[in-house]
Amino acid sequence: MAKENSCLTRVATGAAIGGAIGGAVGSVYGTYEAIRFKMPGLLKIRHVGQTTLSSAALFGLFLGAGSLIHCGRN
């Protein structure tokens, strides 16, 4: 039972770290794109938010899946 709980904790931690890193990278890249393409006010904010959330979700998914794969090897 402790092994399963440890595995679940590792996967959740991996997904959380991936989400944090993805959010940071997405916000920087989204801001860069919004400035580069000279988007108007509210569209710029929307674009940065969408880029941040999609990057966070994608990085979190992959880091969580990687943690799950490594957890299965033990």
What's the confidence (pLDDT) of residue 3?
59
Q: What is the pLDDT of residues 25-72, one digit of tens each?
A: 999 999 999 999 999 999 999 999 999 999 999 999 999 999 999 987
**Mean local confidence (pLDDT), 8-19:** 95
Residue 34: CB atoms within 10 Å = 18
What's the confidence (pLDDT) of residue 72?
76
- Whether 73 has a pLDDT exceeding 60, the answer reads yes
DSSP-derived letter for residue 18 is H
What's the confidence (pLDDT) of residue 2?
55
C-alpha dihedral (66, 69, 73, 74), degrees to nearest 10: 70
Q: Are 11 and 48 in contact (CB under 8 A)?
A: no
What's the confidence (pLDDT) of residue 50?
97
